[in-house]
Amino acid sequence: MNVILIGAQGSGKGTQAQFISSEMNLKHTASGDLLRDAIAQGTPSGLAARPYYERGDLVPDEVMVGMILDAISDLGGKAGLLLDGFPRTLAQARILDMRLAERGQRVDKVIYLQVPRQQLVERLAGRYLCRAHGHIWNIASLPPKTPGICDYDGSELYQRSDDTGEAVARRLDIFFTETITLVDYYAQQHKEVTIDGSGTIEQVHVAVRAALR
């Protein structure tokens, strides 16, 4: 099963991805991590992406899709792929569908975590990540046992620069004007399920798990 999680910054997408990938034996593939890993490993897609990454430019859609196809080809014993952060645009979604079809693959299910914009802003104000492995914490809804320290690996927690101020507004604007169009795209394929992401982590998890059964 290949699953896509769609959600704005602060929707809880990363937290739910950790749960789902573990429970359903899926390979969790966050686009940023995938890009950095491919470059570090010197894969063909990584080599193609490196010049763009080093210049700070957007990596072409075809190159990003190539990385995802590489990930599907090497699932490491997992039952499928869980895509987090890709695709972001209709163009990327269409290329992904086309390239997957060439391999006899497809996107099986798309989960959209729907959260009101104001709630997203409030969540992001309390969101922190650990420096070692990027585990996600929130001082309001998911606080660590020891303030400022990750429960899992003991590393320092920090707040991303794009989780504050104008950076948040810009990223949410992009999501609600561009990425949101993916919901209709996958709904037309009868693959999309909208989940109310405004509840507790456990409430959302129960709904997501039911949608993927």
Determine whether 127 is an active site residue: yes
Catalytic-labelled residue, pool 88, 109, 117, 191: 88
Within 32-184, strands assigned E span: 80-84, 109-114, 127-130, 136-138, 157-158
Question: Which amino acid is present at 96?
Answer: L
CA dihedral sign of residues 151, 154, 160, 161:
positive
Catalytic-labelled residue, pool 13, 50, 55, 131: 13
Q: In Å, how far are 48, 144, 172 from 60, measured between CA atoms?
A: 9, 38, 22
Determine whether 88 is an active site residue: yes
Catalytic-labelled residue, pool 127, 131, 145, 213: 127
Catalytic-labelled residue, pool 50, 117, 160, 209: 160
DSSP-H helix ranges across 143-200: 165-174, 181-188
Determine whether 36 is an active site residue: no
- Residue 142 has, within 13 A of its CA and on its CB side, a CA count of 21
Q: What residues act catalytically?
A: 13, 88, 127, 160, 171
